[in-house]
Structure 1
Amino acid sequence: MPEPARTHAAKLARPGANVITPLQGFDALNQIVNATRECIAVHQVEKTKRARLEVYETTEIARIKAAESVLRDYFAQIFAERRANFEELFTRLDTALEAQDGETINLVVRGIVDIAKSSPLADLGDLGKIREALDDPNQVWEF
């Protein structure tokens, strides 16, 4: 016996219900293209910013190292000078003690105390201003 004929049922969509028009499809494509372009543009801008920051970082590290070198040399000179002054003063103190010269002992001890009280950085000025300069992003340092 032959098979009975089958009937296929289909749902008909109402006009405008879940039907995407060619114009809507084109708008969706434009949104994707525009979003992609914007994403690429933002990526390029951020990549450029990162490159600038890397250059800035490298420059600032070089400047810090140069300043560190100058400061190390300064301290080496100042403390060498102070060491030489102290050695001379203690030599004079020993001589004054051997000679039992009270006036010279007094002067030498005062000189030792005066040098000991002063800081090598005290002659540089207000250290608070240095801190302010370090905090100022627009500060230009020249060496």
Structure 2
Amino acid sequence: MNLVKLNNQLFPSFIDGLFTENRLDVPNYEKFSIPAVNISEKNTNFVIEICIPGISKEDVTIEIDKNILKVSSQTNDETLAEDTTKFTRKEFDFKNFERSFTLPKTIDTENISARHELGILSISLPKKEEEKAVKKMVEIS
């Protein structure tokens, strides 16, 4: 097997740094990332799935304040500072993240649950039971 060097000759300096540089002058941009999210609706609940490979459940915080669900993780900077590995190519890293979701009023916030499996954080948002519609006959006078 031979290793082949990747040569990106078409706009190499522009394309290579397009998404890696801090173009918006955001503080701590390099330590921040936004994980991918899937949101699905079922009959009895909504499910939010967040892709967080390499992050343990102990490092994740889930908060509910009023109707805002906030999911975040903070990496330990001391652990990162101890790593002296020199990479020839590095395409992924475990960084801090924060995602917020506005919850509809139909969510039962007291029974929200979460589980972490194979790098996917799954948050179940049960719907409130709707008041049963009562059939009522109205007398015509």
TM-score under structure 2 length normalisation: 0.20
Larger Rg: 1
TM-score under structure 1 length normalisation: 0.19
- The higher relative CO (CA closer than 8 Å, separation ≥ 6) is in 2
Which structure has greater strand proportion?
A: 2
